[in-house]
Amino acid sequence: MSEISIKHRLEWYGVRFFYWTFRKLGRQKASQFGGWLAQKVGPLLGVHKMARANMKRALPELDDAAIDRNLDMMWSNLGKNIGELAYINDIIADPTALEVVGQEYLDEQVKSGKGAFYAAGHFGPWELGAAISYFSEPHTVSIYRVANNPLVEEFFQSRRENPNLAFVPKGVVGARAILRVLREKGKVVMMNDQKNNTGISVPFFGRGAMTAPAVAEIAYKKDVPIYPMRLDRLGDGKYRFTVYPALDAPKSGDHKADVFAMLKLINETYEDWIRERPDHWFWVHNRWPSD
């Protein structure tokens, strides 16, 4: 573990306090309180301006009032995600809370005898993507970005314990885990909607966006499918987990062109979701370079 600073400890105490508070409140109240608090605090943060600029440029058809409404609900969604962190396994295990759509595609992948990628995004209640390990076998790994604070990282990983789902950090360790799981016919969940400075520029809402190519590169090399996977809030403490048919992989014979075409197809899938529900996406992120 890296050196622990006073700042790290203070953040760790804060995280533990809020986690304890959310557990005391109960699932519904924790979600509501988290959403309410984020709606109050979020617009005061500097990243709110970035979120507004991103939405305005990506969705020019929205007027100022619509942008304000969607940003307000975006903060609510982010706050609810935080409030629900203490209840992820409870929600997934509750059939009255979580609706599953596309079970046939999960079954299809298992019957195929191949591993697969599941392309998710920072959309809606994305932490509920862990549901994939409950509704399908064999085991799953989810690739994620490690928290900057090692104490917070250790705390959250201890709360994510799941015998069928491993959270593996990006980088060399993640790459090895991906290859191992695909060899074992398992599932790899990747959120490919954030900026990757070492990636390649792929159109996203009509603008070049640096995109991690690994999911497409490995899918072609290992001949495995990519299934889009989406999470939605339905209101009243209910959610939907959806798996879509595998994307049609472009096969021109030009590997570089095919990788680019697949990444473009994934980005277009995200675009469709975001246009449908702008409030569900993580707009507070520098997705595009300054232009």
The predicted-structure confidence for 271-284, as pLDDT tens digits, reads as follows: 999 999 999 999 99
> Tokens 């709606």 — which residue?
39
Given this model, what pLDDT does residue 291 score? 55
Closest alpha carbon to 165 in 189, 139, 186: 139
Both structure tokens of 58: 């990506």
CA triplet 63, 68, 74: central angle to 5 degrees?
Answer: 125
Given this model, what pLDDT does residue 152 score? 67
Looking at the DSSP assignment, which residues form a beta bridge with residue 228?
119
How many alpha carbons fall within 13 Å on the CB side of residue 25? 20
Distance between CA atoms of residues 277 and 122, nearest Å: 12
Mean pLDDT over residues 199-210, rounded?
95
Checking if the pLDDT of 41 tops 70, the result is yes
The predicted-structure confidence for 217-266, as pLDDT tens digits, reads as follows: 999 999 999 999 999 999 889 999 999 999 998 889 899 999 999 999 99
Given this model, what pLDDT does residue 4 score? 76
What DSSP assignment string belongs to 27-89? Answer: HHHHHHHHHHHHHHHGGGSTHHHHHHHHHHHH-TTS-HHHHHHHHHHHHHHHHHHHHHGGGHH
Distance between CA atoms of residues 58 and 207, nearest Å: 9
> Tokens 């979020």 — which residue?
42
Q: How confident is the model at residue 1 (pLDDT cuts 50, 70, 90)?
A: very low
Checking if the pLDDT of 2 tops 70, the result is no
Closest alpha carbon to 251 in 229, 214, 274, 223: 223
CA triplet 60, 240, 283: central angle to 5 degrees?
Answer: 30
Helix, strand, coil % in the chain, rounded to nearest 5 = 55, 20, 30
Mean pLDDT of the chain: 90
The predicted-structure confidence for 7-38, as pLDDT tens digits, reads as follows: 888 887 887 888 888 889 999 999 999 999 99
One-letter identity of residue 58: A
Given this model, what pLDDT does residue 138 score? 67
Given this model, what pLDDT does residue 15 score? 79
Helix (H, G, I), strand (E, B) or coil at 282: coil
Given this model, what pLDDT does residue 165 score? 75
The predicted-structure confidence for 77-94, as pLDDT tens digits, reads as follows: 999 999 998 898 899 989
Both structure tokens of 45: 């943060």
Domain boundaries, the chain: 6-280
The CA-based diameter of the chain, rounded to the nearest angstrom, is: 57
Mean pLDDT over residues 1-7, rounded?
70
The predicted-structure confidence for 92-141, as pLDDT tens digits, reads as follows: 989 999 999 999 999 999 999 999 999 999 999 998 998 888 888 767 87
Distance between CA atoms of residues 74 and 281, nearest Å: 7
